[in-house]
């Protein structure tokens, strides 16, 4: 079993059609509502694309968290002011080199690994990787065992510890299930870019985050990766994350 899940047109049509009927309550706390105009869906995700991010820590400032603010607003994961149990899909991490004292600041989110351990360990297959490399959790199949959280080397996943309010129509969540950065998959499917990347450029004016197709040699991200020295977190684990970092 590859662990890769194709989002087929029929499945998308089902989801969209269901939305058109105003919404189905799948289970308590999980409601699917129309995800937008049906015309925006152009076809299944395929392995022709490999979506990824390039984060330049040299352009990232420790005092700036616009990417986090944008993600929170976009996906509605604002917590209950309980930091230990509130979810965090993206966080700013500040680093100080033990020897040299050099400091860095950078955002960490789901690294959308090519070989994601969270997908490997998930007993039900709720944790899945799309053909285009985006790692997601199917909230309807997740049983809340949290094995994926034990397996993720990046602490990218959160468990929904309490009731949810203010859910977004395009981002169903569920108490008792696990969630993480989706790379704003619904935006990508409509030709857009993730909210964090947008905020980094438009609100913070930093342009520290580049989003694009790693498989397309003409994309900005592929060109940047071809000429700059970049690294991936815990590269030693061989997970081949889709998120690259520069300046570390």
Partner 1 sequence: MKHITFSQITGTSNGYYAWLGWLAAFAAAALGATWYMEHNGHYVTGMTNQIVWGTPHVFAVFLIVAASGALNVASISSVFGRPMYKPLARLSALLALALLAGGLMVLVLDLGRPDRLIVAMTTYNFRSIFSWNIYLYTGFFGVVAVYLWMMMERRMNRYTRIAGFAAFVWRLALTTGTGSIFGFLVARQAYDAAIMAPMFIVMSFSFGLAIFILVLMAISRGTKRPLGDAVMAKLRNLLGVFVAGVLYFVTVQHLTNLYAAEHSGVEDFILRSGGLYTGLFWIGQVLIGGFVPLALLYHPVTAKDRSMIGLAAAMIIIGGFIQIYVIIIGGQAYPLVIFPGYEVSSSFFDGRINAYTPSLPEIVLGLGGVAVALLIVSLGVKVLPFLAESLSDADIDPHYVAPPKPDTSVSADVADDSEASATV
Chain residues in the site for partner 1 (CB under 8 A): 1, 3, 27, 80, 82-88, 91-99, 104, 108, 117, 119-125, 141-147, 149-155, 158-163, 174-178, 233-234, 237, 248
Nearer to partner 1, 96 or 227 (CB): 96
User: Minimum Å distance from CB 216 to partner 1?
Assistant: 29
Compute the Cα dihedral for 189, 192, 193, 195 and give only its sign: negative
User: Minimum Å distance from CB 187 to partner 1?
Assistant: 24
Nearer to partner 1, 16 or 75 (CB): 75
Q: Does an H or E element contain 55, and which?
A: strand 51-56
Q: Which residues contact 91 (CB under 8 A, 6 or more apart)?
A: 68, 107, 108, 109
User: Minimum Å distance from CB 163 to partner 1?
Assistant: 6
Distance CA(180)–CA(131), nearest Å, equals: 18
Nearer to partner 1, 42 or 124 (CB): 124
User: Minimum Å distance from CB 73 to partner 1?
Assistant: 16
Nearer to partner 1, 80 or 228 (CB): 80
Greatest Cα pair distance, the chain, in angstroms, is: 60
Nearer to partner 1, 140 or 228 (CB): 140
User: Minimum Å distance from CB 151 to partner 1?
Assistant: 6
Q: Would you say 156 and 113 are in contact if contact means Cβ atoms under 8 Å apart?
A: no
Distance CA(108)–CA(127), nearest Å, equals: 19
Q: Are strands 103-109 and 51-56 parallel, antiparallel or unpaired?
A: unpaired
């Amino acid at each position: 079993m590859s662990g890769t899940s194709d989002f087929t047109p029929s499945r998308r049509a089902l989801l969209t059609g269901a939305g058109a009927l105003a919404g189905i309550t799948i289970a308590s706390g999980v409601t699917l509502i129309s995800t937008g105009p049906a015309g925006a869906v152009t076809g299944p995700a395929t392995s022709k694309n490999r979506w990824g991010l390039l984060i330049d820590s040299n352009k990232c400032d420790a005092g700036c968290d616009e990417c986090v603010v944008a993600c929170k607003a976009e996906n509605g994961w604002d917590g209950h002011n309980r930091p230990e149990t509130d979810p965090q899909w993206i966080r700013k991490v500040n680093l100080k080199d033990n020897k040299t004292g050099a400091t860095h600041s950078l955002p960490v989110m789901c690294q959308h690994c090519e070989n994601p351990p969270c997908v490997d360990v998930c007993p039900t297959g709720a944790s899945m990787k799309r053909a285009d490399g985006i790692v997601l959790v199917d909230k309807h199949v997740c049983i809340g065992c949290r094995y994926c959280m034990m397996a993720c080397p990046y602490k990218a996943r959160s468990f929904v510890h309490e009731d949810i309010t203010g859910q977004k129509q395009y981002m169903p969540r569920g108490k008792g299930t696990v969630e993480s950065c989706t790379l704003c998959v619904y935006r990508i499917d409509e030709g857009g870019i993730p909210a964090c990347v947008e905020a980094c450029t438009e609100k913070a004016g930093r342009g520290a985050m580049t989003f694009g197709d790693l498989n397309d040699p003409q994309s900005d991200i592929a060109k940047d990766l071809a000429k700059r020295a970049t690294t991936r977190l815990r590269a030693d684990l061989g997970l081949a994350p889709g998120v690259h970092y520069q300046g570390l």
